[in-house]
Structure 1
């Protein structure tokens, strides 16, 4: 696509809806770094008159949604600060403790069997349990939230029911914490002096949980796939941890969970990557395309897989808040380390070239990661 069309590519979404896919590193830096010219305000979109009510991409490209995703200007900065402050106050030792506890409980359910699907049996179950605890949910509510969120994200037949369950659970937790504040994320968001409504906080909590769950699960799965299939990481599978962070960083460059993001809207006519972009045009952020831009991935360049100059968490004022990145990294790294500690001889159960990815243009993750290992006793605890 880059060779044929360059760094900014005309694409068609479902229903032949036109958009631009930004693949160039420098072009993506320009788009995400200029929130005035390339706005997050979806009301600017020139295609709204032709978008049907049942358009399948409406959950990804919403209109008049009250979440932080579609606020702009000072209000966006205030909401981002509220979220960042609430997450920054999370104790890192408690966070790792929660991640280890849930990871051990999940491993307990498979360790005696000698084989498992690390995606379905582990990675897609771990992040949401940790996030739910940070929010202030009880352990008993955790499994229901896992099911609801996975149904909602994966578009299953009960996706709407999952969304409704998640929304009602958030509303109930907010009501509880307004009456009984505690040391948790929800209580800190409610105490913020910004004067946010319950609806705004509910929407932001749902966005945070969805954005923090599936990409983190895919980060775990993609990193373990790399470590199980690449000889460079073999030592880490036999008692060493030094390469876990290296594998995780390489995944963010080469196999990032969030491949593409929708989007930004041009506030006026402009030029981008040699293309004439019109006011109201939609731009999709090609995060993986930018990471692989050969113009910045040359030998000896500062833009290489050895650093964190990737776009996997976005860029600019609408990027993933830094405290949220830290939470995701702790959960993912802990999840991987617990697997290596508890299942030290873990090995891929199928040929590497038979592993399949989910058919999604947005998130890149495995449908399954079958593994074998020597059965080991559980350490106790239950889900």
Structure 2
């Protein structure tokens, strides 16, 4: 429980703020609105955890080689960026830029006319999905397109992907194909914006890798990381480059959660509080996985997390073309892959003991 103690304290504080907000804000403020605010905040927190459990596993695979200082930076400054930056400021910036509005006017709209604010944000879901989907697709492909990877869960698929790893820029090639398919299936008026957003997702992914390399010198990939298929993440070392990588990864996961949250409520304060609770638990879960050595104990856990990331990338790219995927499917598919990977890892360990 020590790993989640602060998360529970943080949750109580956020629920208290949500209760106060519901009791005092709006024309129907009172006890009933307060109870509704509490229930919606709790639902959003659970949704965020279910959507981001695979994010915690991938974070742990990167964070396990970091020192205590950078772990604490990730938990403190990273948490502030995740809560206020990605769950509150970033959606406001999107509306301000796309609608050519002043930031303070958008803040006023978010607080006083949340339905109009959510409508303007959802209008640009395709561009957001293209950016996040392209970034997550690269995370997925670079995990499996690894010539040094010798631990395979689905051997028939992963061995073929490993064989493609020697082809230069194969992960970028496959991601660009997925982006072109998406762009082909959106309206002509959106096509350029969607394509540019997806290209920016690719540029940001590669840019963070380059920055991590320049700041950290030559990459040092240990044999254990390479054998588990984590050589691609091994270059993301502790430092500013690694920190930025995890923050952009978290942002890509949060896009879908923020958009999905508006289907439940249009109150930006409640959305921020609910998603903040979920984000805090994901970070606590990340530290727990690192300190307990869970990734070493469950050999296919990283594989399951990356399959879930691949599925989320497909869902995001498809949703940008107008295909509706229920939020429950988006959340449960990640949990399903994680549970499946844990079961497969236990079975693998038993076979090793017998052999």
Q: Shorter-chain-normalised TM-score: which range?
A: 0.3 to 0.5
**Superposition TM-score, scaled by structure 2 size:** 0.33
Highest RCO, 1 vs 2 (Cα 8 Å, sep ≥ 6): 2
**Superposition TM-score, scaled by structure 1 size:** 0.31
Counting strand residues as a fraction of each chain, which structure ranks higher? 1
